[in-house]
Chains A and B, each alone.
Chain A
Amino acid sequence: MAPILQLKGITKQFPGVLANDHIDLTLNKGEILALLGENGAGKSTLMNILYGLYQPDEGEILVNDKKVTIHSPTDAIKTGIGMVHQHFMLIPVFTVTENVMLGSEPVKAGDFLDRPKTADKIREISRQYKLEVNPDDRVEDLPVGVQQRVEIIKLLYREAEILIFDEPTAVLTPQEADELFLIMRSLVKQGKSIIFITHKLREVLDVADRITVIRRGKVVGQADPKTANKNELAEMMVGRAISLVVQKEVKAPGKIVLSVKDLVVADQMKQMVVDHVSFDVHAGQVLGVAGVQGNGQTELVEAVTGLRKSVSGSVDFGGTEITNASPRKITSLGSAHVPEDRQADGLVLPFTVAENLVLCTYYQEPFAKGVVLQYDKILENSISLVKDFDIRTPSPLTAVGTLSGGNQQKVIIARELSRPIQLLVASQPTRGLDVGSIEYIHKRIVQKRDEGCAVLLISPELDEIIELSDRIAVMYRGKIIATVNADNVTKETLGLLMAGIVPEKIESAPNGEKVVETTF
């Protein structure tokens, strides 16, 4: 196989950080190369260089043995490089055809758009690569998995030869992810070449032909997915041994801490997105809420934490009714919240790490006396939390927005878990994080559970839900369609539940855990 893309000695320096340190990378024609690395390892920088968003300080890029310079994404596409972004670059109200033709619109008879021509070409691509999609559908009506296919078709339409997939499975159900892998295989079979960026080790082993691992801006190793195992890869990525299985002891659940009854929540469009949901979370227990994103989990969490008014139903926290109470009241009763979108809700990015670490408590002693902020106390607090929670920051006075995602999340975890709490609501606590950070955050959550804290965990990641939860509730279209015991449920069952299919029989838990089956 001939190399289609070669990166030689790519170096990129940012103020204070050597993001890429003489990186060599070879992509052969017709293969899937997995690029593994922690967040902040330099994967994104490297891909942004390849995509023309950054210029390298040193090094060269060769496509088909010819040296190229890429100044912009337009250049990249001309060179045959295309990227499927984690967050889709689609216009929801446009049809598939319109989205695909956008930016290189074919015209006929003067300046009229030639939609049929594009649509035909889409059908052709769709047949050739088994990317099922109807060119006339509006993008907003399509499921996420199909939207991703539109993104891929966009690249194929522009005749990209090298496709970069940036964390493509983050938004997919397990079944959709499997379909994506089939598509990827079919693409390489027909001569395309793929760079696959992910932090999910299972996926790398499933789909990649070769694995390149990056750590701290350097290539630290290659691996063959046929012989490598998860632990080896994780160790290579992080630079130390990683335990992928969370150790947690079996515990009898304590008293009920959070009790949600018949809760109904509507979204901005007044649509009922949480539909008469009831559940209890006990002390010392993790209740995992599984489900594909967008099935009401976000609104459920917002209603429980006081960020959104519920329509009806009740929420009770440790004997106090907190239905539609203010976030500050709920927080002051001893509840912590790790929000789903850390940058939008959890942090004030231009503020310092120190200030963000007291975001929920700065008005209280010792951080304030009356209205006077006690910056020395705020600083002391931050120094000790930065140490305890291993937050990698140049200083506690660095703007939190300049930290990596993992460290931003650690700031939130540190802030929320360092308070005396009885309830932790953690919404996608490891979204987009690397293995090292995930391991760390999982350990901290389990530690809180072991200390007797009730934990409500929301995550679309099945591995995370199964690892951490004692019980799992599956949400589908606003309803909890089943609650199962975490010890004896398979991923397949959960996957089906997440797709809204309740198997004929869900095996009952041996310890008598009640299995709730709801009709829908």
Chain B
Amino acid sequence: MNKKNIEKQDFGKVVLNEIVGGDPKAKKQKKSVWKAIQIPVLAIITGLFIGAILIAATSETVYAAFREGFFTGLGQAFKEIGTAYLALITGSLGNPVSIVAALKSGDAAAIRSAVNPFLESLVQSTPYIFAGLACALGFRAGLFNIGVEGQLFMGAALATYVGYSITGLPVYIHLPLAILAGALGGAIWASIPGILKVTTGGNEVINCIMMNYIAYRITTFLLTGPMSRPGTGGMPVSPIIQKTAEIPQFFQTPIRFHAGFLLALLVAFAVWWVLFKSTWGLNLRTVGTNPRAAKYAGLSIAKTTILGMALSGALAGLAGANEILAVNRSMAIGLSSGYGFDSIALALLGNSHPVGVILAALLFGVLKNGATRMMVVSAIPIDIVTIIQALILIFVAAPAIIRSIYRMRKVKEESIATVTLSSWGGGK
């Protein structure tokens, strides 16, 4: 062991190593980063591959072509897959040809609309980032917060209320207030199962699911009653929020790219800092990894558990607030397309690390955005993308499948690297 070498080490690398569970020696750095991401990367590739087969297998025209001849059929299959995935890519990242053309023309409006598919993907990713962080933080604290969806609704409701009901505040007070209201709504909702777990031993998984149901009904009641928009005749829609509570969008409609995305990145950084750089985070992670050792070290498991749930819920609330304040500008029942449940998948895909969660959220945003385009261009149902997402997650959740497909050797320290997953289904 070379002690000097260790002393000189940059601590950023150290933290990275701690995340990937690798050896700190610089030589092995690349290897261990690859080790940490190889399963998700291979899972994505495999998912897209199986998706391609499904695209071909569900296409009428491919069957018709096969009746004409085997190679005609094969050609048609490849053509369909090509069209579909090309649409998926151009729909989510932009068409390189039109981007180059727009850049050449120098017309600002043209450039904006050429890069809009990409910007729209970022918009789609934003709630995924917040929700994914919520779940990831929960996992790090040994908590399976399956109630992100309900917390998102409660956060959104409170943010909406603060957003439309208060008038006459300057934007720099009103907007932060509305955002914080969102976080608070989620935090309060999440701390209830946290408190139940601590005081009664109630399993947070079950209680979170129940809290989801209650949250749906409460928001429905609010939107049709106290918070309904006057003049809509009982439609479950809230009033439109004040201009001062809006998270600004950078360009004119239809480009929806907004500052919420930057806020999400900022929050991800904050979560990383808290988890890995502060005593709070060490408390959370110690309780999450080994509660008995945490007790031995003098931590209050009760306090840490409630705090962990509240922080997780606050992040979920931010996801809701973001959708209201930046995109929808008013609250409706169809606020979330299951962000709360996808968040579990995101945390899993990102190994409960903020950077991993951002990458996973970008992937989800891209797939979701591209799928719409794919449906328009090649008439492939949007559900194919849902299936691809599901496949990717199955492969990440059951890495043995990927290992056997690619004949990888089992990593001995597996349980060490993916520590947070040991708490799954957990909660005593």
Does B100 count as interface, using CB distance less than 8 angstroms? no
Spot the interface stretch: A100-108, A310-318, A396-404: A396-404
Complex Cα distance, B17 from A307, in Å, reads: 32
* Most chain A beta-carbon contacts within 10 A, residue among B1, B15, B296: B296
Closest B residue to A16 by beta carbon equals: B23
Does B71 count as interface, using CB distance less than 8 angstroms? no
Report if A371-B23 is in contact (Cβ < 8 Å); known contacts: A307-B296, A327-B297, A397-B6: no
| Contact status A379-B6, CB under 8 Å | yes
Hey, which chain B residues are within 8 Å of A350, CB to CB? 21, 289, 415-416, 419
Spot the interface stretch: A32-40, A44-52, A360-368, A457-465: A360-368
Complex Cα distance, B397 from A147, in Å, reads: 39
Report if A346-B296 is in contact (Cβ < 8 Å); known contacts: A373-B278, A376-B11: yes
Does A272 count as interface, using CB distance less than 8 angstroms? no
Contact of B289 among A348, A360, A373, A379 (CB under 8 A): A348
Complex Cα distance, B103 from A105, in Å, reads: 77
Closest A residue to B3 by beta carbon equals: A383
Spot the interface stretch: A176-184, A218-226, A337-345, A490-498: A337-345
Interface of B is mostly: helix
| Contact status A397-B296, CB under 8 Å | no
- With an 8 Å Cβ cutoff, the count of chain A residues facing the other chain is 45
| Contact status A359-B286, CB under 8 Å | yes
| Contact status A352-B18, CB under 8 Å | yes
A residues lining the B interface (CB < 8 Å): 14-15, 305, 307, 326-329, 331-332, 337, 339, 344-352, 355, 359-360, 362-363, 368, 371-373, 375-376, 379-380, 383, 387, 393-399, 401-402
- A350-B289, A401-B416 provided; 5 other pairs, C-beta below 8 A? A328-B298, A346-B293, A348-B289, A360-B297, A363-B279
In whole Å, how far is B8's beta carbon from the nearest beta carbon of chain A? 11
Does B391 count as interface, using CB distance less than 8 angstroms? no
B residues lining the A interface (CB < 8 Å): 1, 3, 6-7, 9, 11, 14-15, 17-18, 21, 23-25, 277-280, 282, 285-286, 289-290, 292-300, 412-413, 415-416, 419
Report if A395-B24 is in contact (Cβ < 8 Å); known contacts: A328-B298, A331-B298: yes
| Contact status B23-A395, CB under 8 Å | yes
Nearest 8 pairs of A and B residues by beta carbon: A328-B298, A350-B419, A397-B24, A327-B298, A371-B278, A348-B290, A345-B296, A359-B297
Contact of A397 among B14, B280, B289, B419 (CB under 8 A): B14
Report if A383-B419 is in contact (Cβ < 8 Å); known contacts: A346-B293, A371-B278: no
Report if A355-B416 is in contact (Cβ < 8 Å); known contacts: A328-B298, A396-B6: no
Contact of A339 among B7, B296, B413, B419 (CB under 8 A): B296
Give me 5 A-to-B residue pairs in the complex whose CB atoms sit less than 8 angstroms apart, sorted by A's number.
A345-B296, A351-B285, A396-B6, A397-B14, A397-B18
Hey, which chain B residues are within 8 Å of A328, CB to CB? 297-299
| Contact status A393-B293, CB under 8 Å | no
In whole Å, how far is B394's beta carbon from the nearest beta carbon of chain A? 25
| Contact status A399-B277, CB under 8 Å | no
